[in-house]
């Protein structure tokens, strides 16, 4: 058991302008973060008017700290413990916008910005692939908790437009008070690529489900869990550990009127489940508290082990040092100081593998049987034969009919016979009972014990051995049923996966060669400007499948979108990486060809030398400089090969990550577009209510686009609700579809009127072409 307090770290988010309100003091034994609050400012919200507030942490990461440093210092030691069989948890706590998601998951723009989750996955899979002495299995789950309800972020069969569309996860507690999460997908991921796909799927679901209405990301908690099992080859013990990577809800106190409304100092409240988390932390940090209120909220129930239980836990407090955020940052640091008092007892999670245990027990039974045969001097099978059964029946009859109460039934040291005789006696008692029509008052003579003078030692020994065998038999049947259950589980998961694969055949490709990757990518790059998100898990419609009108609207929207530059940058980086990967792939191939050539040369040379030895031109002991040179060259090429293929592998991981980032941006873009579209529709409705039968001057560009969108196939939403909403919008916008040259008042200005007419002509053409 490892006893350890929760480790606390703090990360300061970079500020745009230099700030002077804080100091970082680094010492050997931890470091501290100090806030300086001028007295006049302190008047407002701090009573004792101190100026300096000092908080100690294991380490303070100042603004310049990068993601690599965070991973190396915070996450790597936890990942190492998880590999060794201990549970681990890393959670980020801080106000909205302070960098929790950036720290845990990473930024969506650059490869270097990837956070703790992708880096930890990379680290774990790298270790797993290197360690051939153990067999590892990994599963992933991703849970979002919002308003005390759990949602499964990894369910690929659900199209989430709202969080409520995702499957609900519920908590169950067994008789040993262990928590089980019902409905939460636990998906196996054999390699880094598959795990990243799952992270992407979860993040996408999380992003899509988040709307300005629920602001899920600020008020919900997300728990990404890696379940790792490892087993030494041939050993019956399995180590199963869990690593929770937690992105908590924003810790800010908000006014009851909501983030957007007036925030009243006295009416501030914190997200309810964070409030319960605080209560648990306070209870744990106080001595002599027997009751810890874990059950008050779903989050504290799920993280029960991480808080004062079987887990090594680390907290990252994320703070912003801008003036307006100092109060919240100090409150975050205060919370961290409490957390640092909590002690956890991490246990090595070792269990016996039922299948291997059965094999081991069967062996043990076999050797016990052999031992038994040695003691009794006879080889026996599990069952009595016909002759023995007949003999025993006779013996029992003689025993029962003998009037002497002292008589014994001598069966020898054989449990099979003893059990059979008991069985016969029971049958006979029953028969007598039914013969007496249920009247029996213990009239049968009482059984007497064995005579004391008998030598019981060998018998006892034998009895013990037989008992052990029976015991083992029972264990085996229990284990066999456990095994069956496990098998059933595996089958269920396999069939789920098969279903998934059938629905999305593209997921089948797991390991792709650099050239295949490149071919695929060049295809993607060609179509990338249509900004679709055709990731295999997300089965939404492509933008290219949108109606002409909506597509045009999309282009307008895209032109001004803030993410456009990032997407284009990423695309350029990705293309550059592909070129690099292609060059490296070619180099690897060249090296391989060169090594093969050298090997052939070596063979030929050796044959030549052998021939020369045979003809006596050369002695065997003479070293051959040509051969040596070839060998050296092979060695050199091999080194080259290792280096180049290593680089290629790294590049491939980067490319995959960039592709996922790009897909994510596309999904975000489309979600933003959908929201914009609906908003514009609503705005338009307002306009058309104000100006029924209005002139062209009141029609916004989008309304024109909307009116073009009269093709039934142009409806690109899948939910009934959305379809209805769009239909309504189109109907509302339809009056303006009747616009003609005559219905438009011209301005009198030549150029303007010419433009208006050109616009109407273009619009007319467009309408015609969407109708056909
Ligand atoms: P939270 O999850 O706490 O609400 P985010 O992680 O979403 O906050 O961060 C808010 C914004 O600040 C994001 O745009 C993010 O990219 C940026 N950000 C946060 N921390 C950092 C950092 N250390 N370096 C660069 N950008 C950061
Ligand atoms: Mg966040």
Work out the percent of the chain whose per-residue pLDDT is above 90.
26
Lowest pLDDT segment from 177-186, 309-318, 331-340, 374-383: 374-383
Answer yes or no: are the C-beta atoms of 118 and 196 closer than 8 Å. Answer: yes
Handedness of CA 118, 122, 128, 131 (dihedral sign): negative
Probe target for ligand 1 pocket from 11, 60, 63, 107, with the most ligand atoms within 8 Å of CB: 107
Report the length, in residues, of the chain.
Answer: 772
Whether 99 has a binding-site annotation, put simply, is yes
Whether 98 has a binding-site annotation, put simply, is yes
- Kindly give the distance from the C-alpha atom of residue 424 to the centroid of ligand 1, in angstroms, as a whole number: 79
- What pLDDT score was predicted for residue 518? 42
Q: Taking ligand 2, which is a single-atom ion, which protein residues have CB atoms under 5 Å away?
A: 100-101, 217
pLDDT band at 196 (very low <50, low <70, confident <90, very high): very high
CA-nearest residue, atom 23 of ligand 1: 13
Tokens of 338: 């409490």
- Kindly give the distance from the C-alpha atom of residue 104 to the centroid of ligand 1, in angstroms, as a whole number: 10
Lowest pLDDT segment from 31-45, 168-182, 235-249, 572-586: 31-45
- Kindly give the distance from the C-alpha atom of residue 46 to the centroid of ligand 2, in angstroms, as a whole number: 28
Give dist(CA 103, CA 119) in Å, integer.
Answer: 11
Asked whether residue 48 carries a pLDDT value surpassing 70, the answer given is no
Whether 101 has a binding-site annotation, put simply, is yes
Asked whether residue 587 carries a pLDDT value surpassing 50, the answer given is yes
Q: Which tens digits make up the pLDDT trace of 295-323?
A: 889 999 999 989 988 999 999 999 999 98
**How far is CA 404 from its chain centroid?**
75
The more confidently predicted of residues 750 and 606 is: 606
- Kindly give the distance from the C-alpha atom of residue 217 to the centroid of ligand 2, in angstroms, as a whole number: 5
* Ligand with the closest atom to the CA of 97: 1
Give dist(CA 556, CA 545) in Å, integer.
Answer: 17
Whether 96 has a binding-site annotation, put simply, is yes
* Ligand with the closest atom to the CA of 92: 1
Pocket residues: Cβ below 6 A from ligand 1: 13-14, 94, 96-102, 107, 250, 318
pLDDT band at 690 (very low <50, low <70, confident <90, very high): low
Handedness of CA 705, 711, 712, 713 (dihedral sign): negative
pLDDT band at 548 (very low <50, low <70, confident <90, very high): low
Mean pLDDT across the chain, nearest whole number? 77
Q: Which tens digits make up the pLDDT trace of 77-100?
A: 999 999 999 999 999 999 999 999
Lowest pLDDT segment from 292-296, 460-464, 520-524, 550-554: 520-524
Answer yes or no: are the C-beta atoms of 239 and 131 closer than 8 Å. Answer: no
Q: Which tens digits make up the pLDDT trace of 221-244?
A: 999 999 999 998 878 889 999 999
Atom of ligand 1 nearest to the CA of 96: 4
DSSP annotation of 72 reads I
Indicate the burial class of 494 (C-beta count within 10 angstroms; 0-12, 13-18, 19 or more).
exposed
Q: Report the relative pairing of strands 134-146 and 149-152 from DSSP bridges.
A: antiparallel
User: Roughly what angle, to the nearest 10 degrees, separates helices 701-708 and 720-733?
Assistant: 110
User: How many CB atoms sit inside 10 A of residue 539's CB?
Assistant: 13
* Ligand with the closest atom to the CA of 217: 2
Whether 94 has a binding-site annotation, put simply, is yes
Whether 95 has a binding-site annotation, put simply, is yes
CA-nearest residue, atom 25 of ligand 1: 14
Return the bridge partners of 145, or none. Answer: 150, 221
User: Roughly what angle, to the nearest 10 degrees, separates helices 354-376 and 457-503?
Assistant: 160
């Amino acid at each position: 058991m490892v006893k350890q307090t929760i480790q606390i770290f703090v990360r300061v988010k970079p500020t745009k302008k230099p700030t002077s309100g804080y100091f970082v003091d680094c010492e050997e034994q931890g470091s501290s973060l100090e806030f300086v609050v001028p007295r006049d400012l302190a008047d407002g919200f701090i009573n004792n008017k101190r100026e300096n507030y000092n908080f100690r942490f294991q380490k303070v990461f100042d603004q310049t700290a990068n993601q690599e440093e965070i991973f190396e210092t915070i996450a790597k030691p936890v990942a190492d413990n998880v590999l060794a069989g201990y549970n681990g948890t890393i959670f980020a706590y801080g106000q909205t916008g302070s960098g929790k998601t950036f720290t845990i998951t990473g930024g969506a723009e650059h490869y270097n910005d990837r956070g703790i989750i992708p880096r930890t996955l990379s680290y774990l899979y790298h270790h797993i692939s290197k360690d051939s002495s153990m067999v590892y299995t990994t599963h992933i789950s991703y849970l979002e908790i919002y308003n005390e309800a759990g949602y499964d972020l990894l369910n690929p069969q659900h199209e989430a437009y709202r969080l409520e569309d995702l499957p609900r996860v519920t908590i169950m507690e067994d008789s040993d008070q262990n928590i089980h999460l019902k409905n939460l997908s636990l998906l196996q991921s054999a390699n880094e690529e598959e795990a990243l796909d799952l992270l992407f799927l979860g993040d996408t679901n999380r992003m899509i489900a988040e709307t300005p209405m629920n602001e899920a990301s600020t008020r919900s908690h997300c728990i990404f869990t890696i379940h790792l099992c490892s087993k030494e080859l041939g050993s019956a013990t399995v180590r199963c550990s869990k690593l929770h990577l937690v992105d908590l809800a924003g810790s800010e106190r908000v006014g009851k009127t909501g983030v957007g409304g007036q925030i009243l100092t006295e009416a501030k409240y914190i997200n309810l489940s964070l409030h319960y988390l605080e209560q648990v932390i306070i209870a744990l940090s106080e001595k002599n508290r027997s009751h810890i209120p874990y059950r008050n909220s779903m989050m504290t129930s799920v993280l029960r082990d991480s808080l004062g239980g079987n887990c090594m836990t680390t907290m990252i407090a994320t703070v912003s040092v801008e003036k307006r955020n100092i109060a919240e940052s100090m409150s975050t640091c205060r919370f961290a100081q409490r957390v640092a008092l909590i002690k956890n007892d991490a246990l090595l999670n070792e269990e016996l593998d039922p299948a291997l245990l059965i094999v081991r027990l069967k062996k043990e039974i076999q050797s016990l049987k052999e031992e038994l045969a040695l003691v009794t001097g006879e080889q026996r099978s599990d069952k009595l034969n016909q002759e023995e059964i007949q003999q025993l029946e006779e013996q029992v009859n003689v025993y029962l009919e003998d009037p002497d109460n002292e008589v014994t039934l001598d069966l020898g040291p054989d449990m099979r016979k003893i059990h059979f005789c008991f069985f016969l006696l029971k049958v006979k008692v029953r028969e007598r009972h039914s013969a007496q029509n249920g009247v029996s008052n213990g009239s049968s003579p009482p059984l007497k014990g064995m005579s004391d003078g008998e030598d019981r030692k060998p018998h006892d020994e034998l009895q013990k051995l037989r008992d052990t065998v029976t015991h083992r038999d029972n264990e085996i049947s229990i284990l066999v049923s456990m095994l069956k259950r496990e098998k059933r589980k595996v089958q269920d998961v396999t069939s789920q996966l098969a279903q998934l694969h059938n629905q999305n055949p593209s997921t089948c490709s797991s390991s792709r060669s650099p050239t295949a990757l490149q071919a695929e990518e060049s295809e993607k790059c060609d179509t990338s400007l249509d900004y679709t998100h055709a990731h295999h898990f997300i089965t939404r419609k492509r933008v290219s499948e949108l109606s002409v009108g909506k597509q045009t609207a999309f282009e307008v929207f895209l032109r001004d979108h803030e993410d456009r530059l990032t997407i284009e940058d990423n695309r350029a980086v990705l293309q550059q990486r592909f070129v690099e990967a292609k060059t490296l792939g070619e180099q690897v191939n060249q090296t391989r060809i060169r090594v093969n050539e050298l090997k052939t040369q070596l063979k030929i040379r050796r044959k030549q030398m052998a021939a020369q030895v045979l003809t006596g031109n050369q002695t065997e002991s003479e070293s051959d400089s040509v051969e040596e040179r070839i060998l050296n060259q092979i060695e050199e090429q091999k080194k080259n090969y290792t280096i180049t293929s290593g680089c290629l592998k790294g590049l491939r991981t980067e490319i995959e990550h960039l592709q996922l980032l790009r897909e994510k941006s596309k999904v975000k873009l489309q979600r933003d577009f959908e929201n914009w579209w609906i908003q514009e529709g609503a705005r338009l409705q307002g306009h058309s209510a104000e100006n029924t039968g209005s002139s062209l001057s009141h029609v916004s560009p989008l309304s024109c686009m909307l009116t073009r969108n009269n093709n039934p196939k142009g409806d690109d939403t899948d939910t009934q609700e959305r379809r209805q909403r769009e239909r309504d919008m189109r109907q509302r916008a339809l009056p303006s579809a009747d616009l003609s040259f005559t219905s438009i008042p011209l301005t009198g200005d030549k150029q303007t009127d010419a433009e208006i007419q050109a616009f109407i002509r273009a619009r007319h053409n467009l309408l015609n072409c969407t109708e056909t």
